Structure 1
Amino acid sequence: MAGRSRPYDALKRVLDVVSASVAMIVLLPIMLIVAVLVAANLGRPVLFSQERPGEDERIFTLYKFRSMRDADKAKGLVTDEQRLTRFGKVLRSTSLDELPSLWNVARGDMSMVGPRPLLVEYLPLYSVEQARRHEVKPGVTGLAQVSGRNAISWEDRFALDIKYVDERSIGLDLRIVLGTLKSVIRRDGISAEGHVTMSKFGEAGDA
């Protein structure tokens, strides 16, 4: 990783392991309740898993709580808008669907703070500058998430990701965590304009 010392990286890893482990223990009752509610509202499995690119574009399996019904053309469940239920919207707006990602942090796939892990299919679409977001571990939250979440453009999102890569520090990480708590409480930037979540990168108009 460019531009940061080993002490920072080592300290951040320790903080990640401690914070993720403590959070999983403290939030276990809530996670069990959410799991039961997901099973009741959306069926099994209760976890959503998907391959995502991490640091140095290494592929890992991301875990989240399911927030959408299974795609089913016969039932007209094709788009995200059709598959996302009212219950799923609540999970996403409160970020409860992200809780299983704490396991990814404890494992070392992710950090508590960093650029959000996006789809593997986006990798060939990045410019050289945009691809720099993979110089660090992806995060449960990041600078883009406290600067508009899904409501900002892809161009702005990637610019913020690179800004984080270049300026990351324990102090910045702490400010992002505090900012994330505020965003979740206010439910800011849950969706992009005209979308139930966020537009797909590579659609017309993306930088």
Structure 2
Amino acid sequence: MFFLQERIGYAEKPFFIIKFRSMRIPESSNSDAQRLSSYGKFIRKHSLDEIVTIINVIKGDMSLVGPRPLLPEYLPLYTKRQKIRHSVKPGLTGMTQVMGRNSLKWTRKFAYDVWYTHNASFLLDMYIIAKTVSVVVLASGTSHKGHATMPKFGEKNS
């Protein structure tokens, strides 16, 4: 039901994010599309898999607003500019989530993350939180064109 996954947080420090399991445990050749159950599609579409992640906010690993924490395997792939995303705590929601979520290419996601780090403010956070509500209600941007979820960072056409 729950699972822990290592992610990279503030100052490139690893931590374990807590989430509802929305995918079957991977086998050697399973794609995300094969692993995603109908239950998983529903909870991901409506961001219900993120509810327990509030525990990470309470623990201090995350903030309500900031760049989403990504997998450790991506860290060596970042440009110097993209690494700026780690100068703030990762968030449950952020600019990327309200501007297109997984429908965006990685370069656009990183541009929003870096922009946020330079422009973070209380008013911007309130805007992002309010806009997140509409994005979640409309269930927009939950997958990338041609993918069940999102291609891995560094893959062709990502």
**TM-score bracket for this pair, using the shorter chain length:** over 0.9
Aligned to 2:48: 96
Find 1:55's aligned residue among 1, 6, 10: 10
Give the alignment partner of residue 68 of structure 2, picking from 106, 116, 134: 116
Root-mean-square deviation (CA), in Å? 1.0
Alignment coverage as a number of residue pairs: 158
Alignment of 1:117-136 (within 5 A): 117-136=69-88
Larger relative contact order (Cα-Cα within 8 Å, sequence gap ≥ 6): 2
Of structures 1 and 2, the larger Rg is shown by 1
CA distance in 2: counterparts of 1:54 and 1:192, whole angstroms: 24
Choose from 90, 105, 111 the match for 1:159: 111
SS in 2 for 1:199: coil
What are the residue-to-residue correspondences of 1:75-94 with 2, within 5 Å?
A: 78-94=30-46
The residue number in structure 2 matching 1:30 is none
- Name the amino acid aligned to 2:41: K
Per-residue deviation, 1:48: 1.5
Q: What are the superposed Cα offsets for residues 30-55 of structure 1, whole Å, 9 maximum, x if unpaired?
A: xxxxxxxxxxxxxxxx1121111100
Q: Distance in 2 between matches of 1:175 and 1:48?
A: 30
Distance in structure 2 (CA, Å) of the matches to 1:107 and 1:172: 23
Instruction: Verify: 1:65 aligned to 2:20, yes or no.
Output: yes
Aligned identity (percent) is 49
Distance in 2, Cα, partners of 1:50 & 1:187:
24
SS at match of 1:140: strand
Query: Where does the alignment leave 5 or more consecutive residues of structure 1 unmatched?
Result: 1-45
- Structure 1 runs of 4+ aligned residues shifted over 3 Å read none
